[in-house]
């Protein structure tokens, strides 16, 4: 994102600000220029990878936790005397 979008557009904005003015470089018309739009579209593949690799797993885990929040058996731990037994069958010393 930094090298494909922010840096090139920043250089274009700096050039525009030095040529015209700061307000001209921040105007919406600046961002509608064809070259700036191309740099914005070049950002899309990286954003898509971030969404698929970063956001979807978090949403998936959150949905699983929400669905399994009231599962029978509590939180998976059962007290048995001096031992604590995990619902999977393993005995652990308390």
Does this model's pTM top 0.75? My answer is no
**Is residue 18 pLDDT above 90, yes or no?**
yes
**What are the distances in angstroms from CA 43 to CA 34, 36, 54, 55, 81?**
15, 11, 16, 17, 59
Q: What is the mean pLDDT of residues 68-82?
A: 60
- Cα 39 from Cα 4, distance rounded (Å): 7
- Domain ranges, ordered by start, for the chain: 2-69
pLDDT tens profile 26-63? 999 999 999 999 998 988 888 888 888 988 999 999 99
- Cα 18 from Cα 12, distance rounded (Å): 10
Average pLDDT, the chain: 80
User: pLDDT band at 70, cuts 50/70/90?
Assistant: confident
């Amino acid at each position: 994102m930094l090298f494909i979008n922010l840096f090139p557009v920043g250089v274009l904005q700096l050039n525009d600000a030095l040529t015209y003015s700061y307000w001209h470089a921040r105007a919406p018309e600046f961002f509608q220029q064809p070259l700036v739009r191309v740099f914005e579209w070049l950002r899309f593949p990286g954003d898509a990878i971030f969404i698929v690799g970063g956001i979807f797993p978090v949403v998936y885990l959150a949905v699983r936790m929400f669905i399994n929040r009231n599962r029978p058996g509590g939180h998976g731990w059962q007290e048995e005397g001096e031992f604590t037994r995990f619902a999977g069958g393993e005995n652990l010393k308390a």
